[in-house]
Amino acid sequence: MSKFEYNAEYEIRAAVKMVYPYIASPQGLEEWFADRVEVLNEKFLNIHWDNEQHMTKIVSQRNNSMIRFQFVESMDEAKTKAQKKDNNFLELKLNYSELTDTTYLLITDYSEMNDEEVLKELWDGLVETLREKLGA
């Protein structure tokens, strides 16, 4: 099945330092993104939503800036194979505009889901929950 890259940008009226824990910590992700997040070790998480679990590897992370999760079948697969460009991934990135004094959340969702309308609706709802949690 072919992959689709969905990109979206959302304005978040909160400081980057306030938003970052919500995108990069298990507790923060549970507040708006996932039903439950299990820490397997410092690089691997099991993210639960819709009664399914999805193992992820944190492949890139910059404090108060971004995090990128690569979806993997198992920790062994992630350790033995080179990172493939066609693996599903999710990148959450924060940009701050001094001009508007606003933080922007940039989302890149790369997966088999290719219905842009469904993805927009999904992310609009998730980000609205995040804004509510932040009081933004």
Give the pLDDT band (50/70/90) at residue 74.
Answer: confident
Q: Following DSSP, what letter does each residue of 66-79 receive, concatenated?
A: EEEEEE-S-HHHHH
Q: What is the pLDDT of residue 73?
A: 82
User: What does CATH list as the number for 4-134?
Assistant: 3.30.530.20
Give the pLDDT band (50/70/90) at residue 2.
Answer: confident
User: 18-39 pLDDT, tens per residue?
Assistant: 999 999 999 999 999 999 999 9
Q: Average model confidence (pLDDT) for the chain? A: 91
Q: What is the pLDDT of residue 58?
A: 96
To the nearest 10°, report the CA torsion of 57, 61, 63, 64: -90
pTM for the full predicted model? 0.89
User: 82-136 pLDDT, tens per residue?
Assistant: 555 578 999 999 999 999 889 999 999 999 988 999 999 999 999 999 999 999 7
> For the chain, what are the domain ranges?
4-134
